[in-house]
């Protein structure tokens, strides 16, 4: 994006003067003391005759900062170096702001979710984040990283898979009995198929559930297809029997700029750019999400309670509960709400919660959460220092603690430093900082029915997903169950490499692996799927 505050766009002479300034100044002989004094003044941003100070062309410096990949911490550190970076830069939109703060604003402005906000909305978001554009940038970056906005991403659903490319195109494959592939029909697909009806629409995130799919666009719109419902009830509040086989805009969300969606067994939830969470059709009477509405209600309802004045940066749905990653100037924290069976809410008990409650244990052990992933019956968190924490039901060793016991508070897993974690039905995948993939829990389906990797009570290297030239960056495993019939769904796994290659493994009888299996075969070990993720 061209910086509106960049003088190079309107005054090319400034660039010429900048490049030639050294040649225009004749060499001078100075004493060592004089040179030391000039160096000190030069570093602090003070004018010095015969020297090129930082103040010669601040617009160019601002352009460099705004075009860099510096994060909020880098900008804050730069601001602390000298008074030049702390003094007002005298640029719009606020003449009092220093260069690092303006650069943060400019970086925010490059994001569609921020650029389209009204000035008063931007200022409101700034105050919610703590009064700094650097903090606003931090909030945006957390969501971008955890949801892979602007990057290719893969999602494994119960029987089907969704792939979003870097350009925002969407491919779908697998079971299609209710139109959940969005291709205009109900035939299963055994290879990735482009959803052509979305041409001209840039998709940034996908969520999958049993026989349904939700897509979020870069303009904040939400598209749905499959069973015409959000939580077992159709858009008009009746029992869900109809389906939509092509992407359909959710009309009730048109006034909300959505940046993320997630689907549970009994509900769906969306996250707005302002950090607010809305839910649809929250199952039973005693499990509503802080808005005492009827469980057949399909209008988006704001989740309030303790989160009323807190920004949420990421959401993740399990079968009957919701995890929320909250962003605050003092650091991030995790909230949970819903069914507490098995201790999966992380509060040290098995109580249900009707409104989000802070998982206090992270603060008690001084852990800074970075991302969340809700499995069907267990939960995971990745901390800023690369540790993995799990809690909830421990079926098949899916918590990674060497047993099948449940945990009611977040408990650290002994594993390599991690950069990504993904929870499934009865399994958990971890990507280490070197790109290796580890799993614990049930591997019979998610890894392709390999006997030697059937179950792992502690983190185990997935050798079939390890190669000399491959580095995995994202992985997704089925985390849903068939709540209509109260049975588990054969799981599969899709994984993405840094180079943009897609691998799939696990159950594949309905085409969810992107290939048609031989007669009588139910699953496949990892293999590369033929799809263009550019």
Is residue 333 helix, strand or coil?
Answer: strand
Instruction: State how far the Cα of 343 lies from the Cα of 146, in Å rounded to an integer.
Output: 24
Backbone Cα Rg of the chain? 26
- Both 61 and 154 in one domain: the answer is no
DSSP letters for 57-113: -HHHHHHHHHTS---HHHHHHHHTT-GGGTS----TT-TT--HHHHHHHHHHHTSHH
- Both 411 and 359 in one domain: the answer is yes
Instruction: Classify residue 2: in a domain, yes or no.
Output: no
DSSP 252: G
- Both 520 and 386 in one domain: the answer is yes
In residues, how long is the chain? 534
Residue by residue, pLDDT tens for the chain (534 residues) are 433 333 333 333 333 333 333 333 344 445 556 555 545 544 444 544 444 456 667 888 999 999 998 999 999 999 999 888 999 999 988 999 999 999 999 999 999 899 999 999 999 999 999 999 999 999 999 999 999 998 999 999 999 999 999 999 999 999 999 999 999 999 999 999 999 999 999 999 999 998 999 999 999 999 999 986 554 444 444 445 578 999 999 998 989 999 999 999 878 999 999 999 999 875 444 444 545 455 555 688 899 889 988 999 999 999 999 999 999 888 899 999 999 999 999 999 999 999 999 999 999 999 999 999 999 999 999 999 999 999 999 999 999 999 999 999 999 999 999 999 999 999 999 999 999 999 999 876 667 655 545 789 999 999 888 766 789 999 999 987 665 555 567 789 999 999 999 999 998 999 999 999 988 788 888 999 999 887
- Both 95 and 208 in one domain: the answer is no
- Both 112 and 183 in one domain: the answer is no
- Both 358 and 444 in one domain: the answer is yes
Residue 108, sorted as left (phi over 0), alpha (psi -120 to 50) or beta, turns out to be: alpha
Residue 343, sorted as left (phi over 0), alpha (psi -120 to 50) or beta, turns out to be: left
Query: Whole domain around residue 413: which residue ranges?
Result: 148-234+254-529
Instruction: State how far the Cα of 443 lies from the Cα of 437, in Å rounded to an integer.
Output: 13
Instruction: Classify residue 205: in a domain, yes or no.
Output: yes
Instruction: Classify residue 438: in a domain, yes or no.
Output: yes
Check if the beta carbon of residue 498 is closer than 8 Å to that of residue 147: no
SS3 content of the chain, % helix, strand, coil (to 5): 20, 35, 45
Q: Which two tokens stand for residue 525?
A: 């070990």
How do beta strands 388-392 and 407-413 pair?
antiparallel
Last residue of a domain, one of 122, 137, 171: 122
Instruction: Classify residue 135: in a domain, yes or no.
Output: no
What is the Cβ-side half-sphere exposure of residue 310, based on CA atoms within 13 angstroms?
22
How many other C-beta atoms lie within 10 A of the C-beta of residue 39?
12
Instruction: Classify residue 243: in a domain, yes or no.
Output: no
Q: Which two tokens stand for residue 410?
A: 């977040």
- Both 161 and 68 in one domain: the answer is no
Structural domains in the chain (count): 2
- Both 101 and 160 in one domain: the answer is no
Q: What is the CATH number of the domain that holds 171?
A: 2.130.10.30
* Strand order across the beta sheet in which 258-263 lies: 258-263, 268-272, 277-280, 301-302
DSSP letters for 124-150: HHHHHHTS-HHHHHHHHHHHHHHHTTT
Check if the beta carbon of residue 527 is closer than 8 Å to that of residue 505: yes
pTM: 0.86
Instruction: Classify residue 129: in a domain, yes or no.
Output: no
- Both 199 and 283 in one domain: the answer is yes
């Amino acid at each position: 994006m061209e910086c509106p505050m960049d003088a190079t766009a309107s005054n090319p002479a400034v660039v010429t003067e900048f490049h030639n300034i050294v040649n225009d100044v004749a060499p001078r002989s100075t004493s060592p003391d004089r040179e030391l004094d000039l160096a000190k003044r030069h570093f602090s941003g003070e004018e010095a005759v015969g020297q090129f100070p930082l103040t010669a062309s601040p617009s160019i410096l601002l352009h460099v900062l705004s075009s860099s990949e510096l994060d909020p911490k880098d900008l804050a550190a730069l601001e602390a170096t000298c008074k030049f970076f702390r003094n007002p830069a005298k640029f719009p939109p606020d003449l009092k702001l220093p260069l690092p703060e303006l650069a943060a604003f400019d970086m925010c402005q490059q994001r569609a979710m921020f650029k389209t906000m009204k000035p008063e909305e931007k200022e409101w978001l700034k105050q919610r984040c703590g009064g700094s554009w650097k903090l606003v940038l931090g909030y945006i970056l957390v969501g971008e990283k955890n949801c892979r906005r602007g990057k290719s991403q893969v999602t494994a659903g119960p029987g089907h898979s969704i792939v979003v490319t870097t350009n925002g195109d969407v491919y779908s494959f697998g079971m299609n009995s209710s139109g959940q592939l969005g291709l205009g029909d109900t035939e299963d697909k055994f290879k990735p198929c482009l959803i052509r009806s979305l041409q001209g629409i840039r998709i940034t995130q996908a969520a999958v559930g049993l026989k349904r799919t939700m897509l979020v666009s870069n303009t904040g719109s939400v598209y749905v297809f499959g069973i015409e419902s959000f939580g077992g009830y159709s858009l008009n509040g009746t029992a869900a029997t109809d389906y939509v086989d092509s992407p359909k805009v959710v009309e009730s969300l048109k006034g909300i700029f959505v940046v993320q969606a997630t689907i549970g067994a009994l509900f769906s939830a969306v996250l707005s750019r302002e950090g607010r969470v809305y839910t649809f059709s929250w199952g039973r009477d005693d499990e509503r999400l802080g808005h005492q509405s009827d469980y057949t209600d399909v209008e988006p309802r704001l989740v309030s309670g303790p989160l009323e004045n807190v920004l949420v940066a990421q959401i993740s749905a399990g079968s009957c509960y919701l995890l929320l990653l909250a962003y605050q100037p003092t650091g991030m924290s995790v909230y949970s709400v819903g069914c507490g069976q098995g201790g999966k809410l992380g509060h040290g008990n098995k109580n249900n919660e009707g409104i989000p409650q802070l998982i206090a244990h992270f603060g008690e052990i001084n852990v800074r959460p970075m991302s969340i992933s809700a499995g069907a019956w267990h939960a995971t968190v990745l901390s800023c220092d690369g540790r993995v924490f799990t809690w909830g039901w421990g079926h098949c060793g899916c918590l990674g603690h060497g047993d099948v016991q449940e945990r009611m508070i977040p408990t650290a897993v002994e594993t390599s430093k991690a950069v990504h974690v993904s929870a499934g039905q009865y399994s958990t995948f971890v990507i280490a900082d070197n790109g290796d993939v580890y799993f614990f829990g049930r591997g019979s389906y998610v890894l392709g029915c390999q006997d030697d990797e059937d179950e792992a009570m502690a983190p185990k290297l997935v050798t079939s997903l390890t190669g000399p030239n491959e580095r995995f960056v994202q992985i997704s495993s089925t985390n849903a169950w068939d709540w209509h019939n109260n049975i588990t769904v054969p799981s599969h796994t899709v994984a993405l490499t840094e180079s943009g290659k897609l691998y799939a493994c696990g159950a594949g009888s309905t085409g969810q692996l992107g290939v048609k299996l031989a007669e009588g075969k139910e699953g496949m070990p990892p293999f590369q799927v033929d799809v263009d993720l550019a």
